[in-house]
Amino acid sequence: MSQTNKGSLIVLSGFSGAGKGTIVKSLLEKYPNYILSISCTTRKPREGEVDGREYFFITEEAFTEKIEKDELLEHARYVDCSYGTPRDFVEKMRNAGRDVILEIEAQGAAIIRMKCPDAILVFIMTPSAQELEKRLTERGTDSPEKIAKRLRRAEEEIKCIPDYDAVIVNDDLDRAVEDVHQAIRVLGWRPCSRQELIRSFAEGLSGINGKRA
């Protein structure tokens, strides 16, 4: 967290199959100030997923209604499904001093960057394209057609990586988790992440100098 009372907003993106979900889970277990923003999605739950834990699973109609009411901080389509970040939860947690993690894809990350310039954007990738294909195949949750879609999507996503603040290779999970945590800490020191501190300091200086004039 930054030296102000407001928590950081962290975007974690990555290729499907790169292990970003596992990294997020490890960060939450190891560092108590992190909290995950649960996204809304129109896709069907996978085996073991619970509504309100991994995602809020809603209909396309309900998703459209949230867009119309401006209840989503960002939203995007990914492999034929819609995903979005509830605005109220993120703002409430940041104001309480929590560091909020958004596990979203590149399209949503670009929207967050425009709306929240102080957000920290981290991209997770595998050591090679061959390793990505292997992980997608071995996890056994998608059909060959769906895997092909994810790999084609990765070709689009790789073009967005220069827009991120850090790129972490998930070769060894424990090391990747620590790399992400350290990147977040360092990037939290950027001037754009400390606007409240800088503004408060400037006001204090103005007051002191006004009295000494």
The predicted-structure confidence for 29-80, as pLDDT tens digits, reads as follows: 999 999 999 889 999 998 899 998 888 999 999 999 999 999 999 988 887 8
Asked if the model's pLDDT at residue 10 lies above 50, the reply is: yes
Asked if the model's pLDDT at residue 5 lies above 90, the reply is: no
What mean pLDDT comes out for the span 87-100? 92
Task: Output the pLDDT for position 3.
Answer: 45
User: What are the respective helix, strand and coil percentages of the chain, to the nearest 5?
Assistant: 50, 20, 30
How far from 163 is each of 10, 79, 92, 108, 109, CA to CA, in Å?
14, 22, 27, 12, 9
Percent pLDDT > 90 in the chain is 75
Specify whether the CB–CB gap between 25 and 172 falls below 8 A.
Answer: no
What mean pLDDT comes out for the span 136-141? 90
Asked if the model's pLDDT at residue 157 lies above 90, the reply is: yes
Rg (CA), the chain: 19
What band does 99 get if pLDDT is binned at 50, 70 and 90? very high
Stated pTM of the model: 0.82
Q: Running DSSP on this structure, what letter comes out for residue 102?
A: E
Rounded CA-CA distance 44/198 in Å is: 45
Give the domains, in start order, of the chain with CATH numbers.
9-37+99-212 (3.40.50.300)
167-187: pLDDT as tens digits: 999 999 999 999 999 999 999
* Residues contacting residue 107 through CB under 8 Å, at least 6 positions apart: 76, 77, 78
Task: Output the pLDDT for position 4.
Answer: 53
Task: Output the pLDDT for position 105.
Answer: 86
Asked if the model's pLDDT at residue 102 lies above 70, the reply is: yes
Closest by CA to 175, choosing from 26, 40, 4, is 26
189-202: pLDDT as tens digits: 899 888 888 888 99
Rounded CA-CA distance 195/184 in Å is: 17
Percent pLDDT > 70 in the chain is 98
